[in-house]
Structure 1
Amino acid sequence: MRYNLIVSYEKLEDWENAKQAVADYLENYPDDEAAQKEAAFLETR
């Protein structure tokens, strides 16, 4: 559910909230490779 929040922010082009959401997500799930890729993607925004 929390991962979907990140994707939703991205679709809204709300990059700052997406970055914060992925950072929060990775604190709880640091081994999630998909979230790590999202975080790398968001660094370019």
Structure 2
Amino acid sequence: FGRKFKIAFSGCAHEACGLTSMHDVGVIAKVEGDKRGFEFYVGG
């Protein structure tokens, strides 16, 4: 890559804690019912 590549991880989806949607890759931990997983944002 010709520039910085930024990755952000966050544990709170309701507040912009890690500003995941503003980075090249953003990952938010999610819990739906009894399932745990992640929501990914790519493209910055």
The interval holding the TM-score normalised by the smaller chain is under 0.3
What TM-score results when the alignment is normalised by the length of structure 2? 0.25
What TM-score results when the alignment is normalised by the length of structure 1? 0.25
Larger radius of gyration: 2
User: Which structure shows the higher helix fraction?
Assistant: 1
User: Which structure shows the higher strand fraction?
Assistant: 2
